[in-house]
Structure 1
Amino acid sequence: MKLETQKVLKEFFSNVAGYYGVDAERIEQGKEFSVEANKEIHLLDNIQKKADFLQKINYMQVDELKGQLIFGATEGMITGRKKTARFYGEAEPSGYGYECVETDSGILIPWPRLDQWGSLAPQFAQRWADFVQRQIALDELKIGFYGESVAENTKDAEGKDVNKGWMQFARDNKATQVLTGGKTDNIIRIFGANADYKNLDELAYDLKQGLHERHRDAGDLVFLVGADLVAKEASTVYRGNSLIATEKAALNTHDLMKTFGGMPSMIVPNMPGRAAIVTSLDNLSIYTQKGSIRRSFREDQEVKAIKDTYYRNQAYAVEDLGKFAAIEFKNVKLEDEQ
């Protein structure tokens, strides 16, 4: 690490210590420190801003390690009439709960990268924060879609063993909301003459029909769809219309793929390429337990880098499973794939 970078880094650590109300020596020694409540909120807000999708869902704090869902869902009517008394419907919450689990993000920032940032000293802290927080946001999205379990020692490259994400929440609590097969068990064929769904409009409409009837005509439904499916849909449209290159350019793929099944569509970063979900964005949640956030910065001479760590207790939840329908993306086959 360059001498000038070392000076910038020392100033950075001093500013971090002042911001978090921690002794600067503790920061420089690489010791872990807790984050005050108002600083937790600010940190979570900054991470949320690094991914558009996180800004559209419930990204919030909870008091307890585990408990009932914050918003949840109620069943039945609460409006009616009684001749001799007031009417009260028994609108019981779904009963589904959440449980925050230990979640640890750590990244090595190599000396050469620090030297690059150090040459732009006024933006050093912002570049550091953007770099780390953006990756944390993307990781949290990936876990939301891929997460299946909570392992003591995580190994999976897709984050399947870090936490149970939204798909797994549905599999565990109301498996009927995750379509696993079509004409053939455990296989969902999309596109082609013998497919279960010839196009994404058919798929989106069928998933919408899988919602509880009270949600099927909701105006806030969206079709979350993987990039592989959208690319295949576009290819099929182009091929079916025998478009030449200039015509393809005129037919903007982005505009063409804006809606499916009468719902706006969204391709979310780190979403499985063959995934498809119908829900509303405010139906998806990421909870972080208050008071659980820990931070540290530590130089590691052996790997020639600074370690930046962010520890917290976190959970994923689908607030109303009656407003969530998805396909099992692992079972999707395109056209004539075997």
Structure 2
Amino acid sequence: MNLSEQGRQALDLHFVNTARAFGVQPGNPSAGQHYAATPSVAQTIYNKVVEDGNQFLRLINAAVMVGEIKGEKVGLELTGRVASRTDTNGAGERTPKHLSNTDPKGYELFPTQFDVALKYSKIDSWAKFPDFAERYIRLVRQAMGNDMLTVGWHGTSAAGTTNLGSNPNLEDLNIGWLQILRDFNSGSQHYAASASELVLGSGDAKNLDVLVHEAKMMLPVYHRNRDDLVALVSGDLLSAQEETYYEVNGNTPTEKAMLSGRITRAYGGLPTITPPFFPSGIVKVTPLSNLSIYIQDSSIRRIQKDKPEKDEVQDFNSANQGYVVEDEEMAAFIEGIELPPAA
């Protein structure tokens, strides 16, 4: 099908505005226009992803720009004690301490592709809106942000060619935050419960307060009383715990504050949140500032192409991305927590 005149005008303006955003002259869309972002444009692009994406992206370091595909972590988090005393009268010598983690493993980024297409019929339907292009790119940013968070929780590997059919949660796209902790220091910051070992409401998993406390106790002692620790709790566990409070307390006020039907006050003494796309059966404790997504600022590429053979516009986007726990000792999680069997 051919685009309507209004649709063609809206699309042409979209191509022109894209070129301007990258600081280049508009080219021939039918041939496919190639863009490479400068570091400042790259930061702007991902700031927009954070701004238009899920609110949780704004709570973490979701757009940390780095120059190299591998390197030393760039986050600045206090990692331990700095106060001490050394007797320098003899052979003693004062040794300065590093404020932030000096991890020799550092970070590694992997190519990530965000390729989308828009049918001519959809362009014609949307062309009546003066902000057609912004509406479209906002949807693209939201999709990118959703997938970035999904990989952060579910990613376990970085395959050369991914397979969405066998990895519906993008498990093979990159190595996410949870997998980093599984691999860190022989799993010292991670506990995987065996089948039926931890059932919410019984045994060692009496309630979420107990489970959050146990996850917190997995942190080194000098991190346990930080004032920025947060409990990340799976939605299934939080919903089950809510039902228990309703059954026991009814309309009687409890120590768990209620907001729009959700328990928002602390479990285990920590503020509690269920992140989007968070896996089931998990309790994690960490400062939110400890979670980062790194992007190589010189790696962002885009090809925008008018494809009449397919009656669509194609948009190929790519960047080198990676997931970082700035200080692994500052995070711990328990997985494999089960719900009690239905009555």
TM range (shorter): 0.7 to 0.9
* Residue number among 57, 60, 80 corresponding to 1:54 in the alignment: 57
Unpaired runs of 5+ in structure 1? 245-249
The structure carrying a bigger helix percent of its residues is: 1
2:260 aligned with 1:261:
no
Q: Secondary structure at the match of 1:13?
A: helix
1:55-81 CA-partner distances (Å, limit 9, x unpaired): 221231111110122237756656322
Distance 1:96 1:187 in 2: 35
* Residue number among 218, 223, 228 corresponding to 2:226 in the alignment: 218
Partner of 1:131: 139
Counterparts of 1:325-336 in structure 2, within 5 Å, are: 325-328=332-335, 331-336=336-341
Distance 2:212 2:295 in 1: 31
Distance 2:315 2:303 in 1: 6
2:99 aligned with 1:95:
no
User: Residues 242 and 56 from structure 1, CA distance in 2 versus in 1: closer, same or farther, beyond 3 angstroms?
Assistant: closer
Unpaired runs of 5+ in structure 2? none
Partner of 1:282: 289
TM-score for the superposition, normalised by structure 2: 0.87
Task: In structure 2, give the amino acid aligned to 1:22.
Answer: V
Partner of 1:247: none
Distance 2:88 2:156 in 1: 51
Partners of 1:200 and 1:260 within 8 A in 2? yes
2:14 aligned with 1:3:
no
Partner of 1:116: 125
Distance 1:243 1:98 in 2: 49
Q: Secondary structure at the match of 1:82?
A: coil
Partners of 2:10 and 2:133 within 8 A in 1? no
- Measured on the aligned residues, the alpha-carbon RMSD in Å equals 2.4
Task: In structure 2, give the amino acid aligned to 1:31.
Answer: Q
Q: Secondary structure at the match of 1:288?
A: strand
Task: In structure 1, give the amino acid aligned to 2:148.
Answer: E
Shift of 1:97: 1.3
User: Residues 240 and 253 from structure 1, CA distance in 2 versus in 1: closer, same or farther, beyond 3 angstroms?
Assistant: farther
User: How many residues are aligned here?
Assistant: 325
2:84 aligned with 1:79:
yes
Partners of 1:215 and 1:323 within 8 A in 2? yes
Partner of 2:204: 196
Partner of 1:65: 69
Shift of 1:251: 5.9
1:228-285 CA-partner distances (Å, limit 9, x unpaired): 11111112222334569xxxxx965645343211111112111123332100011111
User: Residues 157 and 94 from structure 1, CA distance in 2 versus in 1: closer, same or farther, beyond 3 angstroms?
Assistant: same
Partners of 2:258 and 2:264 within 8 A in 1? no
Q: Which moved more, 1:60-69 or 1:108-117?
A: 108-117
Percent identity for Structure 1 against Structure 2: 29
1:3-62 CA-partner distances (Å, limit 9, x unpaired): 311111011101211221333224452233211222111101101112222222123111
